[in-house]
Structure 1
């Protein structure tokens, strides 16, 4: 069995490039549901061409990585003033706690922050304010983005394996991601209160 870019015809190379662009944009503008985009693409790939699933994970991870690089650059260059103007920074105490965790263990904090809804921006801000080196960020963020894309693709595959029609799988994956995100956000708010 040979695999080539022609195998992407079922999902479409355009869909993969759009996924990369949407996730990159969503990493910079954190209101775009990037996890749902990866899950939906994975569910579609599961039904049409399972080998393309790997490309969907890689496109999602690449988009997240590029967006995170831009976001980290903004955090480092714009600093606290930009963060406050864009309302990225709400709670100075929370940021201080994140900075302390980053001083202790940078790579695990970056990995976990990518998986927790709403956790990435405070960690990027804290890393930028601390002056975490570009080299450390570039290296540590790659596995974080890949793990993130894999987790959301797994949610899409779950939806794809439960429902017989591709559109049902995509809807199920998106709804599941939204539900998980809302539940995690609710738990975080309750713990903070």
Structure 2
């Protein structure tokens, strides 16, 4: 992911459109890594700050809306509806749709900051027909906050890696991404209820 996105951004030269497209595609693969690599490319001067941030925001929000859409499509598939039915009734739990509708902003906002929570919760929002407008608004706000914070930290760390590791900066960046992933896994494990 690191060298390939970086190489693609470098080969895009000064074409903001191609750079933006590469960043958006990168967010579909692994959004936190794409954010970190893009920040590193901004730090080296390969990508402008504006192209980087706008592309990251667009890619991440479009990906979030895609997860919501997958949930809506799953709701049309009869076996999926049976999987979420209350045993013996064939019906969804009491007021599932109402609960997701009332809590969509909170669900989206909190799950943005809990690793591994976006896929199941965003698709559930779509499955239970939470308001697409409220979902999209929450996704935009949460993305602006989380991505901006991660991008700012990555800029700082990226500059440190460039200054101190030179050609080995990618190894340091890979370590940073792994740290983000591992910390997320640890937080998810600690927050999960014991069985």
Deviation at 1:12, TM superposition (A): 5.5
5+ long unaligned stretches in structure 1: 1-7, 27-31
- In the alignment, structure 1 residue 14 sits paired with structure 2 residue 14: no
Classify 1:77/1:61 alpha carbon distance in 2 versus 1 (closer, same or farther; 3 Å).
Answer: same
- Map 1:1-193 → 2, pairs under 5 A: 9=13, 13-23=17-27, 26=28, 32-48=29-45, 52-79=48-75, 102=100, 105-163=103-161, 164=163, 168-192=168-192, 193=194
Structure 2 gap ranges (5+):
1-11, 87-92
How far residue 69 of structure 1 moved from its aligned partner, in angstroms, is 1.4
User: Structure 1's 171 and 16: CA in aligned 2 closer, same or farther, altered over 3 A?
Assistant: farther
TM-score normalised according to structure 1 size: 0.69
> Radius of gyration: which is bigger?
2
Report the CA distance shift for 1:189/1:59 in structure 2 as closer, same or farther (over 3 A).
Answer: same
Aligned pairs, how many?
Answer: 167
Q: What is the CA-CA distance between 1:188 and the residue it aligns to?
A: 1.9
- d(CA) in 1 for partners of 2:166 and 2:79? 40
- C-alpha contact 2:40 2:158 (8 A) present in aligned 1: yes
Partners of 2:114 and 2:41 in 1: how far apart? Answer: 24
Q: SS at 1:132's partner residue?
A: coil
TM-score between both structures, scaled by the size of structure 2: 0.69
DSSP 3-state at the match of 2:116: coil
1:167 deviates by 5.6
2:68–2:124 CA contact under 8 A, matched in 1:
no
Distance 2:79 2:113 in 1: 21
Please provide the CA RMSD for this pair. Answer: 3.3
